[in-house]
Chains A and B, each alone.
Chain A
Amino acid sequence: MTDVSVDAAPPRAQSAAPEAGPRDYWALLKPRVMSLVVFTALIGLLAAPGAINPVVGFAAILCIAVGAGAAGALNMWFDADIDAVMRRTAGRPIPSGRVTRDEALGFGLGLSVLSVMMLGVFANWLAAGLLAFTIFFYAVIYSMWLKRATPQNIVIGGAAGAFPPLIGWAAVTGGVALEPVLMFALIFMWTPPHFWALALFAEIDYEKAGIPMLPNVAGAAETRRQIWIYAALLAPLAILPAFTQVGGPIYLVAALWLNARFALGALAIRRRTEAAAAADAFKAEKSFFGFSILYLFGHFAALGVEALLRLTVGDYAAAMALL
Chain B
Amino acid sequence: MIVKSEHEIFRRRGGRNAALGYVLGGFVVLIMAVTMAKLADGDLMKGYDHERPAGNGVRIVQ
Contacts and interface: CB of A to CB of B under 8 A. Distances in A.
B30 A62 contact: yes
A192 B4 CA distance: 56
Interface in B1-46: 1-10, 12-13, 15-16, 18-19, 30, 33-34, 36-38, 40-41
A6 B16 contact: no
B44 to A, nearest CB: 14
Contacts of B12: 18-21
A50 interface: no
Contacts of A3: 2, 4
B2 A122 contact: no
Interface stretch (A53-61, A149-157, A210-218, A261-269): A53-61
Nearest to A10: B9
Interface residues of B, number: 24
A25 to B, nearest CB: 8
Nearest to B36: A55
Given A3-B2, A6-B4, A21 B34 contact: no
A6 B9 contact: no
Contacts of B4: 3-6
A3 B9 CA distance: 21
Interface in A1-51: 1-12, 18-22, 25
A57 B17 CA distance: 29
Interface residues of A, number: 25
Contacts of A10: 7-10
B1 A1 contact: yes
A5 B1 CA distance: 10
Contact of B6 (A7, A21, A55): A7
A284 B15 CA distance: 44
Contact of A53 (B2, B9, B16, B37): B37
A151 to B, nearest CB: 39
Nearest to B20: A22
A22 B9 CA distance: 13
Interface in A117-168: 122
Contacts of B34: 55-56, 59, 122
B9 A18 contact: yes
B15 A21 contact: yes
A55 B41 CA distance: 11
Given A10-B9, A56-B38, A122-B34, A21 B16 contact: yes
A22 B37 contact: no
B37 A5 contact: no
B19 A22 contact: yes
Contacts of A7: 6-7
Interface of B: 1-10, 12-13, 15-16, 18-19, 30, 33-34, 36-38, 40-41
Given A2-B1, A7-B6, 10 more contacts: A1-B2, A3-B2, A3-B4, A4-B2, A8-B7, A10-B8, A21-B12, A54-B37, A55-B37, A59-B30
